Each structure stands twice: as C-alpha cells, then as structure tokens.
Amino acid sequence: MGMGVEGKTPSVRTAIAEMQEYVPVRTSESLAQKLGLRLDQIMKLDANENPYGCSPKVLRALGRYSSYHRYPDPQQEETRSLLAEYVGVPADYLLLGMGADELIDYVLRLYVETGDEVIELPPTFGMYSFSTHVCGGKLVPVPRGERFEIDLEGVERAITERTKVIFVDSPNNPSGGMPSMEDVERLLATGRVVVLDEAYSEFSNLTFAPLVQRYPNLVVLRTFSKWAGLAGLRVGYGVFPLPMLRQLWKMKQPYNLNVAAEVAVHESLLDSKRLLAKVKRIIRERGRLLGMLESLDFLRVYPSQGNYILCDVLEGNAMELMQFMAHRGIILRYFKKPRLMNSIRISVGLPEHTDAVVAGLREWRASQG
C-alpha cells in the first residue's frame, strides 16, 4: 500500500483524493453578513425552498415530543405505513432516508464498483455527479438539447456493459421540464437502473411511482424538503422494486431517519391538506412569475413544473445580474456550468418576492443603458 503525505497515515482512496473541493451553499445569515444587509432583507430564492415553511403542527409536535433520548425505529414501520397511503404504493416498497440525497448515495453504493458508469442528463441536479465520484464511479453526461429535451439516442449510444445507473429528474432541476412516458419507457428498456428523481412532483402533479411495481429497474425518489417545507430536517424517501430494496435494507444505517424527522413526517402527512393548499399557491405564483418574466425582453424563460424558473439572459451577463440582485438582498441561483453560463434560476417565493424580483430585473435592465 502507498504511504500518506507524512509517511504515517494511509493514503485516502484515489476517488476522493481526485475530487474537487466542495463549495458550500451560503446560509441566509452568512449572506446577510457578506452583503452588509439585515437578515430580514434577504430573499433567499436560490435553493428551491418552501417560502411558507413547515406545518405549524410540526412545530408544536416537536416541542411536545418527549422521547428524543430513544433511538428511532430502524424499520421505520409506522412512518412507512402512513407514507404508503400518501404515495399510493404498499409500504413494502418504501424506504426513508436523510433527504433524497441519502437515497441517491445508497443506490450508487449498491451498484457502482470503481470504474462503473453512471449516466446523467445535464444540466441537472448536482448530487448525481457528487455521489458517483464518491463511489469511484465514472460519470457519463449525455447533455440535453438546446431546449433541455432528453437526447434518448444519445443515452442509448452511451450505454456500455459498465453502465449501471441512469438519473433523470422529473421535473428537471434546473430547466423545469418533465420526461414523457415514452422517454421513461425507453430508458427502462435499456435494462439499467433508472432513477426518476421526483423531488418536485407535488408541483408537477405527476408521479411515476406506481410504475415501480411493474419494473424491476425503476426507482422513484421523493422528498419532504419542498412540498412539506422540511428541507432542514432532511427527510426523503424512495419507492424501490422489492428485490433491490431487500439489498438496500442490508446496507442502510439503522438510525438514518432521526426521531425529529419521523415526528415531522407524521405531522406533515396528517396536515397534508393544508400543505398541499400552500403548494397550490406556489403553483399559482409560479404562473404569475412566469408571465412577468416573459414580459422582459432580455430573458428567455422556460416554463417549469417545479417551484423554480430558469431563464437565459439574452443581453448582458448572468453572473453580474445575479450579483446586482444579491446587493438588493435577492438571492438567485447562478450555475457556472455548460449551457447555463448565461442563465439564472429563480425559486418561486411569496407574491412580494415575485414583485421584488421583477422590479430588480427591470432596474438592472435600465442600469445596462
């Protein structure tokens, strides 16, 4: 074995040593400090969070709960049976984790040996590449088309005997479009594990979850971060084919879902009517934001099924635009990635956020001369 830098400690795995360092996402507090603004002047529209927060029932129940000194149920029995009703699949198909992020990692650790290939369809969510690299897998990007359509032929050409997993967002983050049933069926026909990431499905009103009972290679991931406003408590889940799930149970950390998260899930599900009414408001606001953005001649706006809208900036520089808005306390997302070098993503917030965003964009346009 090779020796570490000081000749004492073992070398870290090559896959990790070769990874780029993680750029942490800033909290509202650190943004306020950096920008010299008060915390209440920050409109955080860069992480697709829920502007209405979680259910008030969650807040009350967390204060009442008295067994934080006990470990959680490793089998997640009660939570899975409540969740089964919400998702509309039997509880046997479900596994909860520390955000959908943990389940992305589990799927990859289940299938990917060093050098195995994982297909993603960029621009897309960053955790597929992150977790693939942690596993020592080789990421194979099959870029989407100019309007973010999936390149099915490209995916089929990219498949080799080492391809294990294909990740598809439904809807796609950041472009907001959905795969069609035909897309999904063709991807499933490759025989590889197809992970449909439905983190935003409550905003699209469409789920492929019931299909998992028919396809042994389909996984559907969902989360409580967005519709239920629990991003900070970290709860996601997957709908898995039974033979795959038997293997996942073997490798799951017994206490991966903490008791606070369990309490929050129970209360959110009991209060789902109220939470889904808030989702409806966000969907309405998405429509209003879309219309207002479309009226700005320097943007190309992509209709979205998520709680965010992506825009190409047709005149001017998107990174400068993002900085201009940040100085007004409006935090938008800029990605330094291919195809997105002159785009911004705006999370749908409260009506006053929409108004502030559009006013800020107009001001920026005027400042451009």
C-beta of 47 vs 296, nearer to ligand PLP: 47
Binding track over 28-67 against ligand PLP, x by CB under 6 A? --------------------x-------------------
Q: Which long-range contacts (CB under 8 A, 24 or more apart) does 90-95 make?
A: 92/242, 92/245, 93/212, 93/213, 93/239, 93/240, 93/241, 93/242, 93/245, 94/237, 94/238, 94/239, 94/240, 95/237, 95/238, 95/240, 95/245, 95/248, 95/249, 95/252
Number of H helices, E strands in the chain: 14, 12
- CB of 102 vs ligand PLP, minimal distance in Å: 7
Cβ 163 vs Cβ 91: under 8 Å: no
Taking the C-alpha atoms of residue 350 and residue 356, their distance in angstroms, rounded to an integer, is: 10
Amino acid at 310: L
Q: Does 132 bind ligand PLP (CB under 6 A)?
A: no
Q: How far is the CB of 347 from ligand PLP (least distance, A)?
A: 10
Strand arrangement, sheet containing 343-347: 299-302, 308-313, 343-347
Contact between 319 and ligand PLP per CB under 6 A: no
Residues forming a β-bridge with 333: 345
- Is residue 360 within 8 A of residue 325, CB to CB? The reply is yes
Q: With contact defined as beta carbons under 8 Å apart, do 119 and 166 qualify?
A: yes
Nearest-CB residue for ligand PLP? 99
Residue 131 vs 163, nearer CB to ligand PLP:
131
Question: What's the min distance (Å) between Cβ of 83 and ligand PLP?
Answer: 14
The single residue among 45, 108, 119, 199 that binds ligand PLP, judged by CB under 6 A, is 199
Residue recorded with tokens 């299909």: 211
For ligand PLP, give the closer residue by CB, 275 or 361: 275
According to the binding rule CB under 6 A, does residue 173 interact with ligand PLP? yes
Distance CA 222, CA 239 (A): 8
Q: What is the footprint of ligand PLP within residues 209-238 (CB under 6 A)?
A: 223, 225, 231, 236
CB 42 within 8 A of CB 29: no
Check residue 125 for interaction with ligand PLP (CB under 6 A). yes
CA-to-CA dists, residue 162 to 111, 112, 137, 158, 224, angstroms: 10, 9, 10, 10, 33
Q: Which residue, 261 or 361, is less far from ligand PLP as judged by CB?
A: 261
State the minimum distance, in angstroms, from the CB of residue 101 to ligand PLP: 4
Tell the smallest beta-carbon distance from residue 116 to ligand PLP (Å): 21
* Footprint (CB under 6 A) of ligand PLP, residues 69-108: 99-101
Closest residue by Cα to residue 228 from 50, 45, 43, 44: 50
CB 106 within 8 A of CB 248: yes
For 213, the 3-state DSSP assignment is helix
Q: Does 304 bind ligand PLP (CB under 6 A)?
A: no
Shortest Å, Cβ 195 to ligand PLP: 10
Binding mask 245-284 for ligand PLP (x = CB under 6 A): ----------------------------------------
Asked if 201 is part of the footprint of ligand PLP (rule: CB under 6 A), the reply reads no
Q: What single-letter DSSP state applies at residue 299?
A: E
Find the binder of ligand PLP among 120, 169, 202, 267 (CB under 6 A): 169
Of 307 and 354, which has the nearer Cβ to ligand PLP?
Answer: 307
Site size toward ligand PLP, by CB under 6 A: 13
* 197 counts as binding ligand PLP under rule CB under 6 A: yes
Residues at the site binding ligand PLP, with contacts judged by CB under 6 A:
48, 99-101, 125, 169, 173, 197, 199, 223, 225, 231, 236
